[in-house]
Amino acid sequence: MSHPSDECSRLELLVQADVDGELDVTEAAKIAAHIATCEHCANMHARLRNLKSAVRTRTSYYRPPANFEKNLLRSLEKHAPPVAASKSTRKSWWVGAWSAIAGGALTAMVLIATHRPATVLTDEIVASHVRSLQPNHLIDVPSADTHTVKPWFEGKLDFAPPVKNLADQGFQLEGGRLDYIGERSVAALVYRDGKHPINMFIWPASGADSSISVRETTHNGFRMYHWTQSAMEIWVISDANDPSIREFIQRWQSAP
Amino acid sequence: MQPDFTDIARTHLPAAYNLARWLVRDASLAEDIVQDAMLRALKYFPSFRGENARAWLLQIVRNVAYATQQQSRAARFVDLRPEDVEQDLGNSEDDPEALLAKAQEEGYLDQLLNGLPIELRECMVLRELEELSYREIADITAVPMGTVMSRLWRARQLLMQAARRDR
């Protein structure tokens, strides 16, 4: 049995941040080294980790009642001021560009990237994602079984999308649906990361632009990830946090 | 395409409702708060130019919920007392698995979480149910990141302590 030292109480918030996945590599290594030699902090680390997983899996996530949602959206539409779409886009681009210049080059790159002509595609992906979150829109074929989901697409698409099972890695396959993006029918797979659905869109790649490295785009506040693999264009969109989605993508890419 | 506010509202409604519901601990009050917050958000929307619509909306929901809470305090919940934490900090040699057994009981963790003071409960919900980063939580709750970290710490110590007590 070891007793907490001054160093332990100094490190406790970092032990917690490690459990929360908030540390960079250097800090995480420092905490790992301390835990290896300190029973007290190792124990605290384990308890925090257990608590985290218990809270994530055993507490209620309250869903808005369907009626409430319907009425709310109706009243929002009623209150919404009419906008001239093209004019307001132009204005918001300039406002965005100015704040980006103030905010630094990185933001500027993201903003410029989101305003290339490719926005039509990303618009459609965002729209499909948003639509899918409405009750009963997420899934046409609800199944965690790849052998059910894969054949379901046969005859509906002119290609066979890769459907992978990642349940062991914490990303449950929920099913699939047919969607329409970039003027063609595409496969949409739905996975779940805890409370957050992950929408994955798949269609055959057309050009020579084939790269498994993931490109990230932010569009209308949604983060999207795009890569090409096995001659398929793959897009992922979700409001799960960035590290979780990156882990999902990594595991999906390397799964058989 | 200019993001349409209705799309944003629809997308983030579950998060907005979940947060409101946890903050005020009452289903119909939560609806009132979300309704009010969404109408406010719609009004502010022309000046919103951030990238993180979810954090922005949750911040508005949170502010409306706090304003409502000050008018009527729900008295049905037995609060865990944050001042009890300090004396117990040294007592962490328990079996890390012990909490898990109790947590499996239906509704047990809900009840514990509901007993936390609002500012601790809020941090836990944003962190564990909405999976937001420290930075985002700090922005939403308008406190420094260090405060978010120490609130999460206190919340978790209280939860573990309560689970040990109830074992």
SS3 for B150? helix
**Residue A127 φ/ψ, nearest 5 degrees:** -60, -40
The shortest C-alpha distance from B88 to chain A (Å) reads 12
- pLDDT > 90 in chain A, percent: 29
pLDDT of residue B83: 53
Report the alpha-carbon distance of residue A203 to residue A206 in Å, rounded. Answer: 9
Q: Which helix (H) or strand (E) holds B35?
A: helix B27-44
pLDDT of residue A94: 42
Higher pLDDT among residues B120 and A195, named by residue: B120
pLDDT of residue A95: 46
Query: What is the average pLDDT value for chain B, to the nearest integer?
Result: 83
Rounded to an integer, the average pLDDT of B9-31 is 93
pLDDT of residue A102: 46
Name the residue facing B49 among A62, A89, A95 (closest C-beta): A95
pLDDT of residue A197: 87
Where in the sequence of chain B do the CATH 1.10.10.10 domains occur?
Answer: 82-166
Query: What is the average pLDDT value for chain A, to the nearest integer?
Result: 79
pLDDT of residue B86: 46
Higher pLDDT among residues B161 and B102, named by residue: B161
Three-class HEC string of chain A: CCCCCHHHHHHHHHHHHHHCCCCCHHHHHHHHHHHHHCHHHHHHHHHHHHHHHHHHHHCCCCCCCHHHHHHHHHHHHHHCCCCCHHHHHHHHHHHHHHHHHHHCHHHHHHHHHHCCCCHHHHHHHHHHHHHHCCCCCCCCEECCCHHHHHHHHECCECCCCCCCCEHHHCEEEEEEEEEEECCEEEEEEEEEECCEEEEEEEEECCCCCCCCCCEEEEECCEEEEEEEECCEEEEEEECCCHHHHHHHHHHHHHCC
pLDDT of residue A72: 93
Q: Give residue for tokens 């349940």.
A: A167
Structure token pair of residue B108: 């047990």
- For residue A201, is pLDDT > 80? yes
Rounded to an integer, the average pLDDT of A3-26 is 88
pLDDT band at B3 (very low <50, low <70, confident <90, very high): low
Where in the sequence of chain B do the CATH 1.10.1740 domains occur?
Answer: 5-71
Q: Do B2 and A130 touch (CB under 8 A)?
A: no
Higher pLDDT among residues A104 and B52, named by residue: B52
Q: Are B29 and B65 in contact (CB under 8 A)?
A: no
SS3 for B120? helix
**A173, A218, A221, A242 from B57: Cα distances, Å:** 29, 18, 12, 19
pLDDT digits (tens, 9 = 90+) for B79-112: 565 555 544 444 545 566 666 677 777 788 999 9
- Concatenated DSSP letters for B47-101? G---S-HHHHHHHHHHHHHHHHHHH----SS-PPPGGGSGGGTT---S-TTHHHH
- pLDDT > 70 in chain B, percent: 80
Report the alpha-carbon distance of residue B119 to residue B148 in Å, rounded. Answer: 9
Q: Which of A243-247, A251-255, B3-7 is predicted with the least confidence, judged by mean pLDDT?
A: B3-7
Compute CA A18 distance to the chain's CA centroid, rounded to the nearest angstrom.
21
From chain A, the residues in CB contact with B11 under 8 A are: 129-130, 133, 239
Q: Which of A66-75, A112-121, B31-40 is predicted with the least confidence, judged by mean pLDDT?
A: A112-121
Q: Do B131 and A60 touch (CB under 8 A)?
A: no
Please name each of the domains of chain A with its CATH number. 6-58 (no CATH), 60-115 (no CATH), 116-254 (3.30.200.100)
pLDDT of residue A99: 46
Interface membership of A83 toward B (CB under 8 Å): yes
pLDDT of residue A135: 67
Q: Do B93 and A43 touch (CB under 8 A)?
A: yes
pLDDT band at B34 (very low <50, low <70, confident <90, very high): very high
CATH of domain B82-166: 1.10.10.10
pLDDT digits (tens, 9 = 90+) for A49-63: 999 999 998 899 999
pLDDT digits (tens, 9 = 90+) for B104-157: 777 889 999 999 999 999 999 999 999 999 999 999 999 999 999 999 999 999
The strand pairing partners of A191, in sequence order, are: A173, A198
User: Chain A 104-143, CB below 8 Å of chain B: which residues?
Assistant: 110, 119, 123, 126-127, 129-130, 133-134
pLDDT of residue A234: 92
Q: Which of B115, B120, B100 is nearest to A58 (CA)?
A: B100
pLDDT digits (tens, 9 = 90+) for A133-171: 776 677 888 888 888 888 888 878 888 899 998 888 889
Structure token pair of residue A231: 């001659």
pLDDT band at A119 (very low <50, low <70, confident <90, very high): low
Q: What is the pTM of this model?
A: 0.59
Name the residue facing B42 among A12, A17, A80 (closest C-beta): A80
pLDDT of residue A64: 93
Report the alpha-carbon distance of residue A99 to residue A108 in Å, rounded. Answer: 8
Could you confirm whether domain B5-71 is CATH 1.10.287?
no
Interface membership of A246 toward B (CB under 8 Å): no
Name the residue facing A50 among B14, B18, B100 (closest C-beta): B100
The shortest C-alpha distance from B23 to chain A (Å) reads 12
Higher pLDDT among residues A93 and B154, named by residue: B154
pLDDT of residue A96: 46
